[in-house]
Amino acid sequence: MSENHETNSRSGSRSGEEMIALVRESYDLLKSEISKVIVGQDEVIDQILMAVFSRGHAMLVGVPGLAKTLVISTIAQAMELDFNRIQFTPDLMPSDITGTEVIEEDKATGQRSLRFVPGPIFSSVILADEINRTPPKTQAALLEAMQERQVTAGGQRHALPDPFFVLATQNPLEQEGTYPLPEAQLDRFMFQILVRYPSEAEELEVIKRSATKGEDPVNAVVGPDRILEAQKIIKHTPVPEHVCKYALRLVRATRVNESDASGIPDMVRDYVSWGAGPRASEALVHAAKAHAMLVGDGLVSVETIRAIAHPVLRHRIVLNFNAQADQVSTEDVIDNLLQLVPADGLDDHSRDALRSVNGYLEVRLLSQTTEYALRATICLAYRPDGLVSTSELAEMTKVPMNYLAKVLQLLARSEIVTGRRGVGGGYRLSRPASEVSMLDVINAIDPINRIKSCPLDLKNHTSALCPLHRKLDEAIDMLIKQFSGVSMADLISDLGGTMPLCDEKMTAVVDLHRLELQRRANRDDIAALGLLPYGQRTDDLMNLEQAHSAYDEAADQANKDANQARKQAKRDNPDISESDLPELVDDRPRVKVAGRVVLARDNGKLVWLNLRDHSRDAFQIAVSKRDCDEQGFGLAKKLDLGDIVIAEGPLTMTNTGEVTCWADTLVPASKCLVPPPEKHAGLTDTEMRYRQRYLDMWVNPETTRVFMLRGELMKALRSNLDRLGFVEVDTPVLQTQAGGAAARPFFTHMNALDIPLSLRIAPELYLKRLLVGGMPRVFEVSRNFRNEGLDKSHNPEFTSLELYQAFGNYETMREIAEGLVREMAQTAAQATGSSVDSMPFGDLNINYEAPFERVTYKALFKNALGFEFDDLDRARAEATKRGFKTKSEDGTPIADIFVVNELFEEVAEATIDPSKPTFVLDYPAALSPLTRPKADTMDDTIPLAERWDLFIGGMEIGPAYTELNDPDIQEAKFREQLAGVDDEESTFRNFDEDFINALKVGMPPAGGLGLGIDRLVMLLSNSRTIRDVLPFPMMRPRAD
């Protein structure tokens, strides 16, 4: 007990740097002493030492003869600890390990008593050799002692030595008669350490040592007290919250049996039958602390977690039969997890000065009192013209009254606010909001420069182990620059014109400013490297998919073999000259790519970047200090998520199977000053997605793919129309008369001619004028504008295709439409990897390959409603029964044909199979005033017209007509239509006399077709709303 008390006292009196130095010195002494006996195996020794210093145990896996016993006994000697090797055999009993009670007789009194005789486990370091050779009950006795660090016998507890460490081995070769530890027992080991065969040079050194000299004595260089003190320091090493979250996220991503498995990588779903448990998360964090202190810089970061993920997780992940069949190992699964599981955006570059002390500064700068002061100052800035009472300010800021009084006192002392408490009193800013900076407010609460003189206290501050005090000074100077550049007026602008009602929004804006200013500082650092942060013209770029496809496996392997041969030659003969080395072969393809940084991992001398562009979600770039130019490597260290860079270098494949550009050149193309939106697998705020589409495209690659697909579909459409002999034309968007459809237009005024104009609702009448003029086949992909509703399939501004063919009819148009839609579907299927006969759209699979269905308006109506569509009395009764409108506002009956059509649209259309593209033919003529009537129905109750509508996926895609070219009939229909409109409609429906004049000149018989492009793109891109296929859909302006 006194020894532990002494350790506490020593730790408490040391500074953060002294603690790091103590742990690192212990590690260096041990490594140096162990290397006198052990050749190679540096990774094994490091991991064993990490387990010892973090009070964990380890499982050693490797074939016999790899000096496992020698390694552990050497470590025990170097630490001046007792060592026992227990050889596990089938006849070993629990008491043979833990000890047993024996009967002793007192010779003087003749009384007998039980005395506990400790077993071999009562040593500080235990080697449990071939633990799988002993029965489960003996294994359980060892594992219980490992966990509890004590042995219970005869109702008495016997504490094991401290420190205490168990290293177990399993024989991987002989399986007959063995008892492999189940996963639940393996979970008790912090690490599973792989012992691999030594390299040829290392094995040669072993032979030389054994043949030429005896064993070197191992000296005790670090005693038990020093080990215990180092364990205590590591135990109290702070871990940032985002690092803990990453460790948890990594472990949870292994659990295929979780109820919510949405974030599980595909490889885990395919090959893992059981994932890691909660002990894994704890082990990751504990081991990361040891790693940071022993071989890192004392700071626990995401990269530290990644560095020890393999030994912590490899024995906690259970693979299924598919993994064995496909020769997938746990190493492959862990590599995949490290590639795909995201970390929080901050602190990826853990060695950066600001991030080194970030937690410490937040304790001082963003303490609760400072945050309250910022809230109060922001709220006062909203009320520059009057006093705000203390009670009102407390309500606005959500700050407790006792805290608010203290905050206001400090702000008044610094002359930021002025006023007084009490009846009739209040507070206001003492100068304009633009002259009050965040730095002023922070200094009012706790002067920022004073932090430099504060001691780094392990108990109170999260970055107490910052290895270099000068980094603290640099970071504080940077923050002073950042905070002084943000005024209360800036914050008000970001918060909007209304008073914020929640403190979360205020805090978010403050944080956003801090992050933006930090990025601006990184931009300045990039410029200081002699680089242009916003780039310049670059030729010969290829997209990321092209670069990925350019990988040449044979050339890459030849280069790796050549490099390996050169390394081996240097190991065999350290004095060999460069000219005598094997020739370096490098025929790997070189690529030059540009992309946005979506992931950055800093491993010190090697920085890994994942780039994204329109062609590929992620393409890996490796930036090595050895191979990349100095400017490029410096740039990699200063990159933020969202930056756009250009990388050039040869293609290789990493050990994890990832095609990678090993960059020898890296230059900036554009600096991103805003952090990525919160989420993390994309932007989820639907309104923000549409308002700030550029952010949506940044974080949701699927959005970009939809727009790219739209472009491909339009190219296919135009190409097919060109092949059919159609000529693309342009017609007016601004029109003196809106015609071609029954819709409400948008109006404007032309100042130059002083005339009212409307935006077109359809290009139809102008295209027909071109037929009159003699052009036989014309089309326009037009932007149309209709001042009507907004829903998932309607937008006031939309794109349509209209085409007209002289001497055709609506059957001609049906053949053309079916061909166009099918060929667009083939383009989409090729781009998305789907099949034309089963393209997904929501829950549907639509078949575009089979001939489209055909059904008449009349037949569809009867099949759905059970009576003929021209049974007008029954139709009106059915409409009344269903609650449809049958009378106008003034009580006069609505025309029969509109009652019939409402029944058709609401009831009959719903019976069309949405998975089968369907033409509905022969609509009532009264619904189609620009369409030629069917001659054989002119005497029917409801005459029909040569018109069809195409329905796909439950939506109307577009109509087609045999165009009416008789000017007299057309004029009569226009006038009939105008006579039936109400006063409101009469303001935008006009008689187009010029069009009638054109028909009098003579328009050839023709077929006309219209297709809604936006809806087609919805169908072919599997998008559920029209807003998802419009880059910038119509939105109501923000209220703030």
Q: Report pLDDT for 943.
A: 93
| Whether residue 56 has pLDDT greater than 90 | no
Residue 707 main-chain phi, psi, to 5 deg: -70, -35
Same structural domain for residues 769 and 814? yes
At residue 212 the predicted structure's pLDDT band, cuts being 50, 70 and 90, is: low
Give the whole-angstrom CA distance, residue 992 versus residue 970.
11
The H-or-E segment that residue 609 falls in is strand 606-612
**What's the average model confidence in pLDDT over 262-289?**
84
For 220-229, 469-478, 513-522, 885-894, which range has the lowest pLDDT when averaged over its residues? Answer: 469-478
According to DSSP, residue 487 is labeled: B
The reply to whether 867 falls in a domain is: no
Same structural domain for residues 227 and 165? yes
SS3 544: helix
Same structural domain for residues 367 and 485? yes
Strand ranges across the sheet with 747-750: 734-735, 755-759, 747-750
Give the whole-angstrom CA distance, residue 256 versus residue 333.
13
The secondary structure of 699-756 as a DSSP string is H-HHHHHHHHHHHHHHHHHHHHHHHTT-EE----SEESS--SSS-PPPEEEETTTTEE
Same structural domain for residues 672 and 784? no
Contact 823, 716 (CB under 8 A): yes
Q: Report pLDDT for 471.
A: 47
The reply to whether 882 falls in a domain is: no
Same structural domain for residues 196 and 295? no
Percent share of the chain, pLDDT over 90? 33
Q: Report pLDDT for 477.
A: 60
**Which one has a higher pLDDT value, 932 or 7?**
932
Residue 643 main-chain phi, psi, to 5 deg: -65, 145
Residue range of the domain that includes 484 = 353-528
Contact 638, 505 (CB under 8 A): no
For 492-501, 600-609, 774-783, 787-796, which range has the lowest pLDDT when averaged over its residues? Answer: 492-501
CATH code: domain of residue 250? 1.10.8.80
Q: Are strands 1006-1012 and 955-962 parallel, antiparallel or unpaired?
A: antiparallel
The H-or-E segment that residue 69 falls in is helix 68-78
The reply to whether 925 falls in a domain is: no
Same structural domain for residues 195 and 331? no
Same structural domain for residues 223 and 242? no
Contacts of 59 (CB under 8 A, 6+ apart): 167, 168, 169, 170, 186, 189, 191, 192, 193, 315
Q: Report pLDDT for 265.
A: 82
Same structural domain for residues 651 and 558? yes
Same structural domain for residues 633 and 723? no
CATH code: domain of residue 974? 3.30.930.10
CATH code: domain of residue 450? 1.10.10.10
The reply to whether 887 falls in a domain is: no
The reply to whether 584 falls in a domain is: yes
Same structural domain for residues 219 and 276? no
**Highest mean pLDDT: which of 600-609, 658-667, 734-743?**
658-667
Contact 346, 242 (CB under 8 A): yes
Q: Report pLDDT for 644.
A: 97
Same structural domain for residues 430 and 505? yes
- How many of the other CB atoms lie within 10 Å of CB of 462? 16
Indicate the residue among 280, 307, 338 that finishes a domain: 338
CATH code: domain of residue 603? 2.40.50.140
Residue type, 1014: D
Helices assigned H by DSSP within 529-655: 544-549, 553-572, 630-637
Indicate the residue among 528, 562, 589 that finishes a domain: 528
The domain tally of the chain equals: 5
Instruction: Tell me, rounded to whole angstroms, the distance of Cα 794 from its chain centroid.
Output: 31
Q: Report pLDDT for 890.
A: 79
Residue pLDDT, tens place only, 664-689: 999 999 999 888 876 533 455 577 77
| Whether residue 78 has pLDDT greater than 60 | yes
The reply to whether 567 falls in a domain is: yes
Same structural domain for residues 465 and 612? no
Give the whole-angstrom CA distance, residue 939 versus residue 961.
20
Residue pLDDT, tens place only, 86-106: 888 888 888 888 888 778 777
Residue 237: name the closest of 501, 54, 364, 10 by CA. 54
**Which one has a higher pLDDT value, 34 or 763?**
763
According to DSSP, residue 963 is labeled: B
At residue 456 the predicted structure's pLDDT band, cuts being 50, 70 and 90, is: very low
The reply to whether 1000 falls in a domain is: yes
Residue 961: name the closest of 977, 944, 974, 939 by CA. 944
CATH code: domain of residue 28? 3.40.50.300
The secondary structure of 115-134 as a DSSP string is EEEE-TT-SSEEEEETGGGS
For 191-200, 669-678, 1012-1021, which range has the lowest pLDDT when averaged over its residues? Answer: 191-200
**Which one has a higher pLDDT value, 877 or 54?**
877
The reply to whether 894 falls in a domain is: no
Indicate the residue among 528, 561, 581 that finishes a domain: 528
